[in-house]
Amino acid sequence: MGSPRAIIHVDMDAFYAAVEVLDHPQWRGLPLVVGELGPRSVVSTASYEARRYGVRSAMPTLTAQRLCPQALFVPVRMARYREVSAEVFAVFGEVTPEIEGLSLDEAFLDVSRSLRLFGGGIEAIGRRLKQEIVRRTGLNASVGMAHNKLLAKLASELSKPDGFLRIRPEQVHAVLDPLPVGRLWTVGKVAESNLHRLGIRTVGELRFAEPRRLQQACGNQAAHWQRLARGEDDRPVQPDAGEKSISAETTFVTDLTTLDQALSWLARLAERVGERVRAQQLKGRTITLKVRKPPFETHTRQLSLGEPTDATRELLDAGRTLLQRWWAAEKDPRLRLLGIGISQFAAEAQSGLFAPSPGQDRLADRINQRFGQGSLVRGVVLKSRRGGSENS
């Protein structure tokens, strides 16, 4: 049997409401409901201040108004939420390509193959996710960590808001046993009532229940529920293959105004992406350049390679071509953000006679893993350490 998986569940705290407060700071601390008042309208999200009055998602807004008359009701701005969600998922893509998005504000990440790359284990990656999300978006995320999806999601739920919790294998029963049985995945209200009639109110009581009696009362689901009660869950993280990518990007405090500066930063980002691709044992065919010029005008450019690659040199060469083309086409080129990514991953192909050797890249990876990121870099990268400020 292989090593336990390393699964992270990230759930943004009161996401829609938090975005509204971010854009309207004067609303901070108020009971805020995202959803317009009307006979057919429902609550999309409520701030934690509104939740204290019993306001919940999917509740009719008129009911929410009765519970909290002083609440501020604001319309849903889905385009804005998608924009912020894209920033959050970009952070996910920088630690692993194994991302299963559940909604705009929630995802599972399998970071099993990223542990050595980032060092410090699953908690180091979880901490990085929280820090990067708040740095780039100003929003808090709750992060749950465990060896399977069931426990990772439970960890984020138990630690909300602004949560950070890991459930280790030896802690499973201590955490699960006291919980109400309804907290288990797939145990809905009807199932919970059936279990209550059997005298089973906690997860621990479900775990120790006599299997035959449980099956007679609850049918085929009984064995499944008892596996969950033991903390067992073998569901894999299922990424959308069409969206799988590895990328890195940087937002600058001071806009870049020269191509030389931009190329230097591009080399730094390409090294970071190349190292992650090799750590995941992947090879990609499509290179994407992302640029943003002030104030918030974002462009992407793509280039497809003849063969999949994990070589930093090929990644950087393609990125340079795209950046130079964009720069030459602009009347007044200035960069607020620069990013590069690789996607369209394929099975590892046999190297051609003139394909770049991965030996130097892998040696650099080992040196940087041992002595810290940036210990060994390309000469052009050194220019990015002068006069530039990195936000991400």
CATH number at residue 183: 1.10.150.20
Least confident of 19-33, 158-172, 182-196: 182-196
Q: Is 392 within a domain?
A: no
40 and 141 together in one domain: yes
175 and 160 together in one domain: no
Q: Residue 179: its pLDDT value, please?
A: 96
Q: Residue 368: its pLDDT value, please?
A: 52
131 and 196 together in one domain: no
Q: Is 265 within a domain?
A: yes
The answer to the question of whether 177 is labelled as a binding residue is no
Average pLDDT over all residues of the chain = 85
Q: Residue 203: its pLDDT value, please?
A: 95
* Closest C-alpha among 268, 258, 234 to residue 368: 268
Q: What percent of the chain has pLDDT over 70?
A: 86
Q: What percent of the chain has pLDDT over 90?
A: 57
- Where a domain ends, among 167, 184, 216? 167
302 and 319 together in one domain: yes
Q: Residue 363: its pLDDT value, please?
A: 59
When comparing pLDDT for 99 and 1, which is higher?
A: 99
Q: Residue 73: its pLDDT value, please?
A: 96
CA dihedral 189, 192, 197, 200 (to 10 degrees): -160
Cα–Cα distance for residue pair 147/6, rounded to 1 Å: 5
Query: What's the average model confidence in pLDDT over 184-210?
Result: 89
48 and 107 together in one domain: yes
For tokens 């980032």, the residue is: 118
Cα–Cα distance for residue pair 243/266, rounded to 1 Å: 22
76 and 157 together in one domain: yes
Range 348-357 contact pairs with CB under 8 angstroms and sequence separation of 24 or more: 348/281, 348/283, 348/308, 349/283, 349/307, 349/308, 352/307, 355/307, 355/309, 355/311, 356/309, 356/311, 356/313, 356/314
111 and 158 together in one domain: yes
Residues ≥6 apart with Cβ < 8 Å to 324: 259
The predicted-structure confidence for 115-131, as pLDDT tens digits, reads as follows 888 877 999 999 999 99
Q: Is 264 within a domain?
A: yes
Categorize the per-residue pLDDT at 391 as very low, low, confident or very high, splitting at 50, 70 and 90. very low
154 and 219 together in one domain: no
Cα–Cα distance for residue pair 197/102, rounded to 1 Å: 33
> The CATH number of the domain where 102 resides is what?
3.30.70.270
Cα–Cα distance for residue pair 90/70, rounded to 1 Å: 37
Q: Residue 132: its pLDDT value, please?
A: 94
Please, are residues 122 and 372 in contact by the beta-carbon 8 Å criterion? no
Categorize the per-residue pLDDT at 361 as very low, low, confident or very high, splitting at 50, 70 and 90. low
Cα–Cα distance for residue pair 12/6, rounded to 1 Å: 20
Burial 222-259 (b: 16+ CB within 10 A, else e): beebbebbebebeeebebeeeebbbbbbbbbeeebeeb
Cα–Cα distance for residue pair 326/333, rounded to 1 Å: 9
Q: Is 365 within a domain?
A: yes
Query: From residue 308, how far is each of 21, 285, 305, 342, 360 by CA, in Å?
Result: 43, 4, 7, 10, 18
Catalytic residues: 106
Cα–Cα distance for residue pair 33/15, rounded to 1 Å: 11
34 and 115 together in one domain: yes
> The CATH number of the domain where 353 resides is what?
3.30.1490.100
Please, are residues 367 and 375 in contact by the beta-carbon 8 Å criterion? yes
Residues ≥6 apart with Cβ < 8 Å to 89: 99, 101, 107
Please, are residues 303 and 261 in contact by the beta-carbon 8 Å criterion? no
Categorize the per-residue pLDDT at 349 as very low, low, confident or very high, splitting at 50, 70 and 90. very low
Q: Is 333 within a domain?
A: yes
- Where a domain ends, among 183, 201, 229? 229
Q: Residue 156: its pLDDT value, please?
A: 96
Joined tokens for residue 213: 């009696």
73 and 119 together in one domain: yes
Q: Is 391 within a domain?
A: no
Joined tokens for residue 201: 């109110």
CA dihedral 12, 17, 21, 27 (to 10 degrees): -140
The predicted-structure confidence for 279-333, as pLDDT tens digits, reads as follows 777 888 899 999 988 877 888 898 888 888 999 999 999 999 999 999 999 999 9
* Closest C-alpha among 292, 392, 273 to residue 337: 292
Q: Note the helical H segments in 198-258.
A: 203-208, 211-218, 221-229
251 and 309 together in one domain: yes
Q: Domain total for the chain?
A: 3
For tokens 């049997």, the residue is: 1
220 and 127 together in one domain: no
Cα–Cα distance for residue pair 358/311, rounded to 1 Å: 6
Least confident of 12-26, 171-185, 252-266, 271-285: 271-285
Q: Is 132 within a domain?
A: yes
Q: Residue 392: its pLDDT value, please?
A: 36
Q: Residue 2: its pLDDT value, please?
A: 59
Q: Is 390 within a domain?
A: no
The pair phi, psi for residue 252, each rounded to 5°, is -100, 140
The predicted-structure confidence for 138-175, as pLDDT tens digits, reads as follows 999 999 999 999 999 999 999 999 999 999 999 999 99
Q: Is the dihedral of CA 222, 223, 224, 226 positive or negative?
A: positive
* Closest C-alpha among 155, 143, 46, 168 to residue 91: 143
- Where a domain ends, among 131, 148, 167? 167
The answer to the question of whether 317 is labelled as a binding residue is no
Q: Residue 144: its pLDDT value, please?
A: 97
In terms of residue numbers, what domain contains 256? 244-385
